[in-house]
Structure 1
Amino acid sequence: MFVYTVDEEISLKLIEMKDASRIFQLTNRSRPYLRNWLPWLDQTRKIGDTEAFIQHALKGLAENKSMTTMILLNGQAVGVASYNSLDWANKIAYIGYWLGEDYQGKGIMTKAAGALTDYAFQELGMNKVEIRAAVENKRSRRIPERLGFVEEGTIRQAEWLYDHYVDHVVYGLLKDEWKKRKSKKGYAHKRGEERS
């Protein structure tokens, strides 16, 4: 099984059907908080809904179109980070993520997104990584900003969120920009290890 070690406490594990209960419980505990920015909470009411999500994620992996991982903190599931889409023709990886409410503000997602960014460039051979976040979702927007992504623009009414549209800010980072950033002392992410 694919596990990518980010640091001593954080790792990314490829999502599996056996993880459905853990992911559903985490979703349930953070439901009101997550509903502010994620459009799928109302359609995730029972464990079968999470199983359907995992089946979809595994299909995307099998077709080489996406990759979904659980974020583990000391072995405990705390969120999900993924390549929502892999554009092999243009060598662009699109990262998405969410974190349980109790784990916010600890730098976990910055490290996880940084690891996925590094993996996209070093292992997948991508030229660009893109992250999108709702304009008002300040916490989510701080992730790419901390990692040195460039704000490339705003997509108006990019997503329907239950009863209203939200605009998305698009952040992009190129492979050569990431290399320069890593070579400076400002970013200390160590390359993780893969285990099978």
Structure 2
Amino acid sequence: MLIVSDDLQLRMRKIEDATRVFELVDKNRAHLRPWLLWVDATTSPLHSKKYIEECLVDFEKKTKVDFGIWYKGELVGSVGVFDIDATHRNAEIGYWLDQDCTGRGIMTQCVKRLIDYAFQELDLHRIRIRCASGNIQSGQVAERLGFTLEGVTRDSHWMYDKFMDDKIYGLLRSEWKS
């Protein structure tokens, strides 16, 4: 578990969290769907259980570390380091949050703590954040934490009925001021 503040912790999810994860995704479908393709495929707690199992396997393989965000004892989102490349010492950070918890700085605090973890515990040299160009809140998290906008990949992924651009942000260990 990673402590962010008195009210905020990051904890790897357990199999028994699957129903709660599903309920949170289900509650936030309209909020998450424009940015996350997997939302439509999450139709039951079994899908969440399978995802948690995959995360635990990936953690053992040292390719992913995925945390649930607990705020005042309630699961409110997810933040993780994935596509960990031990050779080149880089990875990507991804995140999502319950719509009811946005606008409070929760995600910025969580990503900040995760960056500390990634540079100190995972010994990464570089972290990237990739988000759809239209996902303003996600980009603002990266910008608040000192990431550099390195570019835009045009029409980089298909979301439902159209191609979308992605913004690519990067942060080097030497640039990080925790």
Check if 1:99 corresponds to 2:80.
no
Residue deviations 1:70-105, cap 9 Å, x none? 001011100000112211111112100000111111
Distance 2:51 2:161 in 1: 23
Of the two structures, which has the highest relative contact order with CA contacts closer than 8 Å and spacing of 6 or more? 1
Compute the RMSD of aligned alpha carbons.
0.9
Secondary structure of the corresponding residue to residue 119 of structure 1:
helix
Instruction: Name the counterpart of 1:48.
Output: 46
Structure 2 residue runs without a partner (length 5+): none
Instruction: Name the counterpart of 1:83.
Output: 81
Instruction: Name the counterpart of 1:186.
Output: none
Equivalenced residue count is: 178
Distance 2:15 2:162 in 1: 33
Distance 1:44 1:160 in 2: 18
Query: TM-score by structure 2 length?
Result: 0.97
Instruction: Name the counterpart of 2:110.
Output: 112
Structure 1 moving runs of 4+ over 2 Å: none
Instruction: Name the counterpart of 1:21.
Output: 19
Distance 2:55 2:156 in 1: 22
Check if 1:156 corresponds to 2:154.
yes
Identity across matched positions, percent: 37
Structure 1 residue runs without a partner (length 5+): 183-196
Structure 1 position 59, deviation (Å):
1.4
Query: TM-score by structure 1 length?
Result: 0.88
Structure 1 position 161, deviation (Å):
1.2
